[in-house]
Structure formats: C-alpha cells, structure tokens
Amino acid sequence: MIESVAGVAHGATLEADVCIVGTGAAGVSMALELMGKGHRVLLMEAGKDRDDPAVQAIYEGEVVDELMHSPTDKYRQRRFGGSTAIWGGRCMPFDPIDFEARDWIPNSGWPISYGDLAPYFAPANHYLEAGRCEYDADKAFSPPAPPMFAGFDSDQVRTNGLERFSCPTNMGARYKSRLAAARDVTVMMDAHCVGLKLHEDGQRLDTAEFATLDGKRFKVRAAAVVLATGGLETPRLLLASNDVQSNGIGNQHDVVGRYYMCHIAGNVGTLTVNGPVDRVRHGYEISPDGIYCRRRLHLSEQAQRELQVGNMVARLHFPKIIDPSHRNGVLSGLYLARHFISYEYGKRLRDGNKKGALLELQHMWNVVTHPFDATSFVTHWLRKRTLAERKFPSIILANKNNRFSLEVHAEQIPRSDSRVMLTDQRDVFGMPKMRVDWRYSKEDITTVERTLQAIDQALRRTGVGQFEFDRHTLEEDLLRFGAYGGHHVGTTRMGLDPKTSVVDGNGAVHGVPNLYVASSAVFPTSSQANPTLTIVAQALRQAHHIHGALTRDQQAQEVLA
Amino acid sequence: MKVMVLGGRGFVGRAVVKLLRERPDVQVVIASRHPGASESGAGGVSCVAVDARDEVSLCAALKGIDAVVNCVTGDGPSIAAGALSLVNAALKAGRPRLVHLSTMSVYGSQQGVLDERAELLDDIGWYGHAKIEAESHIRRYAQEGGLAVALRPGVIIGPGSEPWVRRIARWLQAHRLADLGAQGDGPANLVDVNDVAQAVVLALGMALPADGTMPVFNLAAPDSPRWNDYFCDLTLALGAGPLQRWGARRLKAEIYGRGVPLKVLERVAGKLKLDANQWPQGIPPSLAGLWAQQIQLDVRAATKDLGVQWTPYARTLAQSVQWLQAGSAAIAMA
C-alpha cells in the first residue's frame, strides 16, 4: 500500500513489525524481500515521488576541504527511490579478499565472510536488473566474447572479470506498483526521520521519530527498525539521537561517523597496444539476457597479497577529455557541453587547473574538423541512451590508434580520522547538520602505483603492449577531483568489537539489538567494486535475518501465551 | 466411474483425458463438437459428439455419466451458455459431479495476494465476464443439490500451449517482446497443464460437502515467476537473446502500431474468408494489462486441501521449450 502521511495524526504512534527508513537500494530491496513473510512492514521515505529542491536542501552540510569532497547534497537523493534515481548502474560483487583481515591493510576484515553474502548476490542482481549473476567473461556470453587483448595471458592480471550494468534502475519507480499492491507493506512519503528514541535503559530502541515539512510529528514503534538512509545520513541520525546516550546511539566508543571511505579514482597514463586495432576489445558486450557488460583489468588475489596492495580495477578509457591534443570531436564536444551536464556526471569535465579561451577554441576546432565523429556519436547516444530504457552505460569511442588511458577505481584504507560529524548548524527540523572530513592515505596511492606497474609488466611480458604513467604526478592525477562521488562507505562499520565498530555482522547496532543499519555505511572496507550491488545483497541477507528473528520472537510469545 | 470430459480435445481437456486414462477404475468419454477417432475405443475411452450449448443432446450424452469435467472454451457465449446448458442437463440427468475449469480472470483487475474468498470482479473484458457467468451457473448447481468443484487456474502452460508458450516464444524470437520493467512485473501465475489435470482428478475424488456450497481452488505453481522472468528464461532457453528492454512507450507503440492493426486485418480477412492462421499476431492491449497486474493467486488451499503436487516451474519451462524445439525440428525436416 502507499499511504499519505496526511492521514497520520500529529503526535500519533504507528505500530509495525519492521520499520524501514529510506527507499533507496537497501530500503526497497529489503521491503520487497520481507513481502509475504507475515510481517507488517512500514517503509518510510522523507522525500516525494520526484525531485523537490526544498527536501533535497535538507541534505546540505559542510565539507572540510571542498576540493577533496563534493557538497553533501550532491551524489545522493532525498526522494522515493533514493540515490538510485541518479546512479550509474555499475554492478559487481565485492571479492572474497575484501572480507579478509589483511595484515597489510590496517583496520581491514569483516565479521562475515564472502560465503555468508554470496547467496544474496544473484537476487541482488535480479532486483537491480543487472541480469544473471555471472561475472566471468569466459562464461557470460554466447557466442563467447573476444578477449580484452588478443594474446594476453597473465596469472597476476585478470581480464575476464566483468562489470554488469543495471538500466540503471530507479528502485522507487521500478517497484512502486509491487509495493502499492502489497497488503503487508505500507509506503509513506514526506515523512522525515528526525530522531531515534532509546528506552531509558539504553538497551533497546523504543521509537523512531518522524516529522513532516508542515510541522507534524509522529512516532513509529516497531520490533525492528532499519536505517537504510545511506552512508552519510545514517551517522547523522545516530549522532543526533543523543538524549539517552549523550554521544549518540551506538557511539559509546566514538566510532560512529569514522572510517569514512569513498574510492580513489581517476584517469591515468597511456596504455599502448602493439599491432592492429582489432587486437583490443575496449567496449561493451551484451549478454544473452540483454545486459551491457564490460571487462576490467584486475589483480588476482594472490598478486594483491604478494604486492601488499589494496583492491583495485582499471578500465580502458579514452584520453583525457580536457586535453585537446586527442583531436577527437566527441570528447571536445563533451568538454564544451560540460556546463549542461548534471553536477554528478559533469564534475570530472570541469577541470580547475586549465581554463581560458584558447582551450575552448582548440576544442571547437576539434569539433569543426571532425564533424562525422560528433554526429554519429550523438545519434548513437540519443538512440541507445537518451531514448533507451536500458541505457548504454558510458561513452565508448572508436579505437583509432590503440592508445588509451586507464580509468582507475581503487580501495582506500579505512582510517578513523576520515569522518562525518555534526556541526552547530541545524536543518529545518532542528537536527544538527553534518560536516564531512574525508581523508586518504599515501598507501592508497601506492596501491594504484603498484597495480599499474603490474599491469605494465604483464602487457610487456606478453608482447601485447605497455602502460606508461608518471609516478610523480600520480597522486595529483588521482586526487584532482577529490574523492570519487557517491560511494559513502564505512561510517557505521560492522565488526565484532564495539570499540572499533558500530554494528554486528547482521547490521544490528551493538547493544541495541532491534536497531539495524542497511547501507554501505556498514562496510568495514571499500573494495574495488561500486557499492550498490553489495548494499542490496547485504540488505537481503539482513531481511532474511530479521525475518528469522521476528519469527522466533513471535513463536516464543505464542509459547508463553 | 464414468467421466465425461467436455472440451476433451482442447489443450487442458487432452491432459485431463491422458491422466484419467491411467486410472483403471475410470471410463473416459470425450465430448467435443468435433470428436476425433484416434483415441476412440482404446484404453477405456469413447468419444461422443456434443454441442455443449445444446441442452437436449447434452442430456442424452450424460446418461450413465458419474462426473463431468467442464473444459469448454471458445467465445463468450459458448462459455456462459455452455455452462448453463450443462447445469440444466445435469440436473435432469442423474446429477453427476461437476468439475468446472474456471480462471483467475474472474478476479478481474484486483491486485495483491488473492485467495478463493476474494470477490469476483467483472472489469477486464469478455473472457472474465463469461467465466464469472459460467461459475455462477455451476454454483447454482451446487445450491440445487448437485456436487460441484470449481478450479481457477492462472496461466496454463506446458507442451502444447499455443498462446502462452509458442506465441510468446515467437514474439521473443522476433524481438517483438522484451523485458518490460514495471510493465512486466506482474506475477505470471503460471501453472503446468499437467498440474491442472492432476487437480481435476483430485477434485473428482475429493469428498464434497452436501450443503449447497461449491469448493473453489486457485491453481498456480507456488514458484511461478513474474512475467519479465518468464520472458527472460524463455529467451535464454531458446537462444533468442539478447533480450531487449522496453519502457511503457515502446510497449504501447508495439500494441497500437502493430498489435491492433494486425487484429483489424485478421478480422477483415475473416470476413473475406481468407485463412489468417499463419499471419503474425500482434500484442493485444489486454495482455499488457495482464503483464503489469500485481495479482498473485494464493494456492494454499489447492496444496493443502486438494493435495496438488506442483511441478517445479523450471521443469515446466524445460518441457515447454523441448516441445517448441521438437515442433520446429519437425518443420525443418519436412
């Protein structure tokens, strides 16, 4: 059912078995999974069915270094569907090594194993509409897809790992009719969670408190409350709920908001392939179930251990857009159109270092002298992206000269001084706003450097080609735009020890067993992978756990009765 | 026991007959407008020509019959009037037990998980309308002292299903159907034709109340997928990929740009006495409504009280695909 918050009286207390706060990737998939299992589920959303600037403004906060991190109201959405309304759709599971305590990665190790989460990746793929859960390029295609490089063979560097692309699916729009038809799920929009009320003994969550923009306040009491509000809003809610525990909920040991990670990302160097251009496969394949898939360069787990590096992938990419020497009409066109592209997708085109009329002119020259590039690109883009329901995931240009850059996406070491905290500023509901202080480590750059060197060695050893990059500018290349936007990881990390973690392996807050977090906020480490697929897998695992816990409780109560 | 299968040469009727023939205690009478000779005489099966709408011929045919399975299909009037004349004839001719094949279409456009107590809603067109009327006749039979059971299957598939296997497969192979996103998110409520036959046999044997009520059972495989999943599974099994993805606009364009005009052409061809059987079929608007409808049959009663052992969806799918491929292999050989 979808019910209007208008029908809830000021001061009312709603009852439910499970109250899920947030309708993004985690919240919606958890609600769908709990459907038909015998529980009354309340799915609460602060925003509306569409973008609303007044609601989105509630996400505003401070960033310590604006060059290093995007504003807090970017790359996330306070609306039905959450940030899946704007995500890019890239899916791949976290790797087994991500779950291990690696002695060369401080603060690494999950309280659950890859095997614990593995059964949930297939249903997560399904909910996100990324097709079958097949991430091995040698098995995913029929007929088989060509290799990334003909003649390349390496134990260290894998090229058969895939990323698969969601439509990208907006979880709100996609599953609205299913949620509306369900009699055991009630969706309520325009209801902002503004606080969490513990029992006086601090051992249990009593109610979650909600407010509307027109001044109504009400509460929800549920056997289980799930915060599915993302990696930034979740610590804000926990820290701001400080009436019983003065440091905020789950924060006795000052861990909430810490260990905040994004990804280290950027375009680096020049990869040159020997031989004809058809030796390289740099674009997308389409799997039989219709999914855009793409290979990536990825160090094997054994190689990561040997090189003592974090997890990282690299994709074949076109040359740097901002540098007009690529003489490509499409790239120059994109550069010139950068102000018309949304903040989230245009950020990396707006380079702060180079400006001026000469640069603009050089790009215009590229467009004028390569008119065919631009027109065929625009036609393809219109047909396969703008008008298509399953969108062509990114720009792929014809390979004319066997030269690429590498697009890097790398794990960063979790560190306690990288954090989200509260400020003295208040939002419209009187809740403290957040300040983000994102930090990275030298070792994060070393991960990229060593991995790129391994890629270069493997290319040379097999005679495929080479990869050259400037070690001295690597850090600058990777940090030019700061942290990769939208991947908010680690702020309520899971673990066994309450001194270094906020939630347990099931996502329940230490010491508050009926309060859960379903979000990338619980990931102790950030992997090479984009977080969404693993967020959903994790949420499905939690749904399974909560279903079991509630069923056991109900049975126990029946026995007592 | 002598069991007459009305519509015994149809898709469901054939499966029912096949299952009944395995029972040594059952004598099967296939009643059909055009009874064939193939099964006649063999294995305790006899055939009789009956026009289901003709009460007099029905009455004669029902002589000595212990139970009737009503699998009559056709246009609206045949379904509704057929049920009426069946009830009238049965009341006159020894009151055999009636097992009536109804449909989930009697629930109309309702959404959610529906069990057999859900109201009947006549708002999705002629088929649901006729089936609701047919059910009301059968219910009257129970009220007047007859024994009757109604079965409400979802979408019946399996080897031999022209509309739900071959037609869908053809659209997918021609890339004239796709993953429909929210427009194909409805539960498909697929049920194996053999499970429907099994339910019929169980309904023939179950103890029935003599209190004027008519037990009703929903039939759908508990592991039946959603429409999008069915389309994807069928595409992969047939090697017909890559599966496309359509939005609402693209589906509308297919229906109104192709489906409706093709239907009009088919009607015109019918008037001109042309054979339109081999012409391509387009997607009718009613199907788009079904694919998006969030209706899920609650089949706990059929599982628990009737004792149906459901065929896993994966097996039904594999057998359906095998049937399709055997058909095209036969065509290729010819």
Q: Band the pLDDT of A273: cuts 50, 70, 90.
A: very high
pLDDT, average across residues A452-464: 98
Look over chain B and give the mean of its residue pLDDT values, rounded to a whole number: 92
**Selected residue of A289, A293, A387, A391 to mutate for chain B interface (largest B Cβ count, 10 A):** A289
* ipTM value: 0.93
User: What distance in Å separates the CA atoms of residue B221 and residue B192, rounded to the nearest whole number?
Assistant: 7
Q: What is the pLDDT at residue B41?
A: 53
A11-60: pLDDT as tens digits: 999 999 999 999 999 999 999 999 999 999 999 999 999 999 999 999 99
Are B112 and A183 an interchain contact pair (Cβ–Cβ within 8 Å)? yes
pLDDT, average across residues B9-21: 95
- What tokens were used for B291? 């694919």
The closest CB to that of A177, out of B243, B247, B292, belongs to B292
A474-531: pLDDT as tens digits: 999 999 999 999 999 999 999 999 999 999 999 999 999 999 999 999 999 999 999 9
Bridge partners for A42 per DSSP: A19, A186
Q: Which residue has the higher pLDDT, A118 or A344?
A: A118
**Given strand B27-32, what is the order of strands in its sheet?**
B45-49, B27-32, B2-6, B67-70, B97-101, B148-153, B216-219
What single DSSP character describes residue B326? Answer: H
For A24-74, give the secondary structure using H, E and C. CHHHHHHHHHHCCCCCCEEEECCCCCCCCHHHHHHHCCEECCCCCCCCCCC
User: What distance in Å separates the CA atoms of residue B253 and residue B257, rounded to the nearest whole number?
Assistant: 5
pLDDT at A92 over 70: yes
Q: Band the pLDDT of B54: cuts 50, 70, 90.
A: confident
B205's enclosing H/E stretch is helix B193-205
For residue B242, the chain A residues in CB contact (below 8 A) are 286-290
For residue A122, the chain B residues in CB contact (below 8 A) are none
Neighbours of B43 (CB within 10 A): 12
Planar angle of CA B207, B211, B214, nearest 5 degrees: 65
Q: Which residue has the higher pLDDT, A265 or A334?
A: A265
The closest CB to that of A174, out of B111, B182, B232, belongs to B182
For residue B111, the chain A residues in CB contact (below 8 A) are 180-181
Q: What is the pLDDT at residue B330?
A: 63
Bridge partners for A515 per DSSP: A225
Q: What is the pLDDT at residue B272?
A: 86
pLDDT, average across residues A348-368: 78
CA distance to partner chain B, nearest, from residue A80 (Å): 16
- What tokens were used for B158? 């399996």
pLDDT at B118 over 90: yes
User: What distance in Å separates the CA atoms of residue A200 and residue A288, rounded to the nearest whole number?
Assistant: 56
User: What distance in Å separates the CA atoms of residue A164 and residue A194, rounded to the nearest whole number?
Assistant: 36
Are A173 and B250 an interchain contact pair (Cβ–Cβ within 8 Å)? no
User: Tokens 């089949």 belong to which residue?
Assistant: B299
The model carries a pTM of 0.95
B238-264: pLDDT as tens digits: 999 999 999 999 999 999 998 888 888
Percent of chain A clearing pLDDT 70 (strictly above): 99
pLDDT at B331 over 60: no
The top-scoring range by mean pLDDT among A60-74, B39-53, B70-84 is A60-74
Neighbours of B273 (CB within 10 A): 6
CA A207 distance to own-chain centroid: 29
pLDDT at A355 over 70: no
Are B112 and A389 an interchain contact pair (Cβ–Cβ within 8 Å)? no
A505-517: pLDDT as tens digits: 999 999 999 999 9
pLDDT at A560 over 90: no
pLDDT, average across residues A146-160: 96
Look over chain A and give the mean of its residue pLDDT values, rounded to a whole number: 95
Q: What is the pLDDT at residue A187?
A: 98
The residue among A541, A547, A465 whose CA lies nearest residue A505 is A541
Rg of chain A over CA atoms, in angstroms?
Answer: 24
For residue A393, the chain B residues in CB contact (below 8 A) are none
Q: What is the pLDDT at residue A262?
A: 97
- What tokens were used for A200? 């006086």
Whether B237 and chain A come into contact, CB under 8 Å, resolves to no
The residue among A5, A61, A118, A66 whose CA lies nearest residue A538 is A118
For residue B292, the chain A residues in CB contact (below 8 A) are 177
A120-147: pLDDT as tens digits: 999 999 999 999 999 999 999 988 999 9
pLDDT at B332 over 60: no
pLDDT, average across residues B111-126: 96
Are A296 and A310 in contact, with CB atoms under 8 Å apart?
Answer: no
Helix runs in A105-224, H state only = 114-117, 121-127, 137-140, 171-181
User: What distance in Å separates the CA atoms of residue B204 and residue B103, rounded to the nearest whole number?
Assistant: 18
CA atoms within 13 A on the CB side of A557: 7
A393-427: pLDDT as tens digits: 998 888 888 999 999 999 999 999 999 999 999 99
Are B241 and A290 an interchain contact pair (Cβ–Cβ within 8 Å)? yes
Burial group, residue A66, by CB count within 10 angstroms (0-12, 13-18, 19+): exposed
Are A288 and B244 an interchain contact pair (Cβ–Cβ within 8 Å)? no
A307-354: pLDDT as tens digits: 999 999 999 998 778 888 888 888 888 888 888 888 877 777 765 555
Per-state percent for chain A, helix, strand, coil, to nearest 5: 35, 20, 45
CA-to-CA dists, residue A302 to A97, A114, A305, A307, A515, angstroms: 9, 16, 5, 9, 38
**Selected residue of A177, A186, A287, A392 to mutate for chain B interface (largest B Cβ count, 10 A):** A177
pLDDT at B117 over 90: yes
Angle of helix B76-92 versus helix B126-143 axis, rounded to 10: 10
User: What distance in Å separates the CA atoms of residue A549 and residue A514, rounded to the nearest whole number?
Assistant: 10
pLDDT at B333 over 80: no
Are B182 and A290 an interchain contact pair (Cβ–Cβ within 8 Å)? no
Bridge partners for A280 per DSSP: A149
User: Tokens 């459901």 belong to which residue?
Assistant: B310
A223-241: pLDDT as tens digits: 999 999 999 999 999 999 9
